[in-house]
Amino acid sequence: MKTHHLLSALLLSAITFPAFGQNQSAPNAPVSAAIPPRTAQANVDAEAAKKAGDWVDSLRLADSAKAERVTEVVATHLKTIRDWHNEHPFTTVPAGINPVTGKPLSQLDRQIIANSAMPKSVHENLMAGLRKDLNAEQVEAILDKYTVGKVAFTMNGYRGIIPDMAKVEEAFIVTQLKQAREEAVDYKNMDQISTIFKIHKTRIEQYLNDNGRNWKALYKTFAGTLKSKKADTNAPVVNPTP
């Protein structure tokens, strides 16, 4: 297994939707810096629809009517989570402390809290719509598109750190990562998605510690192995965090 491939860090930024417009209220009116609200909304909606279409096209569905329905389900969900995020900035959540760590809530913490208050029906509608027309493997493929393949990427990281992983451990880790993926699709950008995965990674590491493993020791050994390979081959060392 190529550890440098399995453990390379994801460097993805939040998706933005540029839009262009011109004030045409008069023949000689100057170009306005402000984009008409309807035009801006149409542009970002078109971006969401295109993304949904690209994701569904990757499934190569033979039934065009089915593909259209799934595309609409995904596009609607993308628009809804975008709008909720934009309409509920982190400032809608009062500053305070994390009750577990006692540290002040970060802007990211507060934004995730705001986004997590989105009605559950939004997620339920997505999953029901996907399962209506897709098999389990195809549903997972769409969820992977939302989360840029973080389940497989992270699982490969754990396999590199725990080369003698037992089947029961693998089953627990995969279950946690898939739960993280399904929860993460309701968040707008990669910082938020990664934070949702981190919640489940913490559970995984606690599970390992509770069942005879020493996560810190495993991680330290693996990091040391990478460092040795760097010294031997002069190859770049990548972040070993799964």
226-235 pLDDT tens trace: 888 877 766 5
Boundary of a domain, candidates 146, 168, 196 = 146
Question: What distance in Å separates the CA atoms of residue 174 and residue 146, rounded to the nearest whole number?
Answer: 17
Q: Give the lowest-confidence range in 18-27, 35-44, 58-67, 212-221.
A: 18-27
43 with 64, same domain: the answer is: yes
pLDDT class for 30, splitting at 50, 70, 90?
A: very low
160 with 135, same domain: the answer is: no
33-92 per-position pLDDT tens digit: 555 667 778 788 899 999 999 999 999 999 999 999 999 999 999 999 999 999 999 999
113 with 205, same domain: the answer is: no
Boundary of a domain, candidates 111, 146, 181 = 146
**Alpha-carbon distance values, 198 to 28, 153, 162 (Å):** 54, 14, 18
- Please give the pLDDT value at position 27: 39
Can you read off the two tokens belonging to residue 105? 């809530």
Q: Which domain holds residue 90?
A: 38-146
Can you read off the two tokens belonging to residue 65? 């009517």
Residue 65 lies in a domain: yes
123 with 96, same domain: the answer is: yes
205 with 158, same domain: the answer is: yes
Cβ-contact 194, 41 below 8 angstroms = no
85 with 157, same domain: the answer is: no
Residue 13 lies in a domain: no
Question: What distance in Å separates the CA atoms of residue 147 and residue 166, rounded to the nearest whole number?
Answer: 26
Boundary of a domain, candidates 90, 122, 146 = 146
**Alpha-carbon distance values, 206 to 161, 165, 209, 239 (Å):** 15, 15, 5, 21
42 with 136, same domain: the answer is: yes
Residue 160 predicted with pLDDT over 60: yes
Can you read off the two tokens belonging to residue 84? 């909720």
Question: What distance in Å separates the CA atoms of residue 86 and residue 40, rounded to the nearest whole number?
Answer: 14
pTM: 0.78
Residue 30 lies in a domain: no
Residue 27 lies in a domain: no
Question: What distance in Å separates the CA atoms of residue 52 and residue 66, rounded to the nearest whole number?
Answer: 13
pLDDT class for 15, splitting at 50, 70, 90?
A: very low
Residue 236 predicted with pLDDT over 70: no
How many folded domains does the chain comprise? Answer: 2
